[in-house]
Structure 1
Amino acid sequence: MSLSGGYPGMAGPPAQPKKRPTWVVGVVTIVSFVLLLWLIELFDALTGHQLDNNGIRPLETDGLTGILTAPLLHANWEHLIANTGPALVLGFLVTLAGLSRFLYATAIIWIVGGLGTWLIGNVGAPAYNGVVIETNHIGASGLIFGWLAFLIVFGFFTRNIWEIVIGVVVLFIYGSILLGVLPGTFGVSWQGHLCGALAGLLAAYLLSGPERKTRALRRPVRPPQLNT
């Protein structure tokens, strides 16, 4: 007689596939994304960097398509190498909030940050004979600034202790690069950095909605006070 229950000789219920740990999914996701950036830059280098013309060109209708392509493009290998480390670290940390939240946060930062760059990308741009020189914004740094801002504030919205700790550690290690949202170095898109960071704050607020709603429901309702 079978000791596992059911009838003798019958197979038990099919085993459920083991779920991969969150950190494994995060590593695979962000490494795949960064690998894609390197493959695109390799193709771009081999074809004379013609892809770089597809960045965000502010206030030009044909520059709107750059919102979708700009984070995938880099001016040269040095530009890509500078973005690779922060992208791996910060992108991975965002995946720890859950893959769906990572995807939604990235989409918000990508689109909203890109649209903001399209709107203000010419602010502070050099001019020649009173005419602003056309700018072309490319690179994943706007996305990186968005992930950074997301990580710093997300825990304070969710009130999750580990997410707060991650935010504090990230602020301590990477906080100085937030100065990149200010006008400064020529050729660096501070507009893209600023809009990416603001989009990251928006993503953190929107995606912390379930925790904020739960916290609001737990808040005791005070009875009305009647004066006599």
Structure 2
Amino acid sequence: MVSPALPRRRSAYRVLPARPFVAAMTMLLFTFLLYVVEAYDASTGQSLDAEGGIIARDPSHLDGVLFAPLLHASWAHLESNTLPFLLFGFLAMAGGFGQFVGVTALVWLVSGLGVWVFSPPGTDTVGASGVIFGWLVFLLFRGFFAGSAKQILLAVVLFFLWGGVLFGLLPGQPGISWQAHLFGALGGVLAARIVAGADRRRRGGETVAVPR
């Protein structure tokens, strides 16, 4: 006879990655790639920023949606993004590498398309901050959608430590793309919702065979 599976600890409730060393090395390698790209960009007079940035509403630069998060306007820009990039990316791997890739891809695209559509015409936008905001908001919301007390507690801690950066969602700061931040955050909320919904469907389909 087949009965519903008994409740068990699931990856949806994790706060830290199941394989923290692998997750940490993945984020370190990802960050190293950003530094390699910036080193090449600096050596060529920031030519990559001009070629690979998101130039708002310019169809010939729509591919900047894919490349802009890998580029930074300066070493200072990259350095300011490094710690939150490492930390939030690491924590976002708690649900597994496949989920991390899906969440990152969604945030990456929503943020980039929002910049391309809503930034002032001709604006060239680069940087990983849209992805960073998406990861942060994903981490803030996933616990509420999943009903995980541990994840909600982590969200409270992250908000206490990093909540001030959410002012970057508001327009008015010169040289700051609030569009990238806002749409990255919206992508993070959407990703958290999708992950929670997928987990509920998975739970609903779990069964175990019980001998008669």
Q: Does 1:84 align with 2:87?
A: no
Shift of 1:161: 2.4
Q: Does 1:155 align with 2:143?
A: yes
**In 2, distance between residues paired with 1:178 and 1:216?**
35
Segments of 5+ residues of structure 1 without an aligned counterpart are 1-19, 123-131, 218-228
Q: Which residue of 2 aligns with 1:194?
A: 182
Q: Which residue of 2 aligns with 1:39?
A: 36
Q: 1:139 aligns with which of 123, 127, 130?
A: 127
Q: Which residue of 2 aligns with 1:223?
A: none
Q: 2:111·2:179 contact (CA, 8 Å) conserved in 1?
A: no
Q: What TM-score does the superposition give when structure 2 sets the normalisation length?
A: 0.84
**In 2, distance between residues paired with 1:177 and 1:212?**
31
Q: Which residue of 1 aligns with 2:66?
A: 68
Shift of 1:61: 0.3
Q: What TM-score does the superposition give when structure 1 sets the normalisation length?
A: 0.78
**What letter corresponds to residue 175 of structure 1 in structure 2?**
G
Q: Which residue of 2 aligns with 1:93?
A: 91
**What letter corresponds to residue 146 of structure 2 in structure 1?**
T
Shift of 1:167: 1.4
Question: CA RMSD, aligned part only?
Answer: 1.9
Q: 1:157·1:212 contact (CA, 8 Å) conserved in 2?
A: no
Shift of 1:75: 0.5
Aligned residues: 189
Shift of 1:58: 1.2
Q: 2:102 aligns with which of 95, 101, 104?
A: 104
Q: Higher helix share goes to which structure?
A: 2
Q: Deviating runs (4+, > 4 A) in structure 1?
A: 214-217
What is the SS of the residue equivalent to 1:211?
Answer: helix
Greater relative contact order structure (CA < 8 Å, 6+ sep): 2
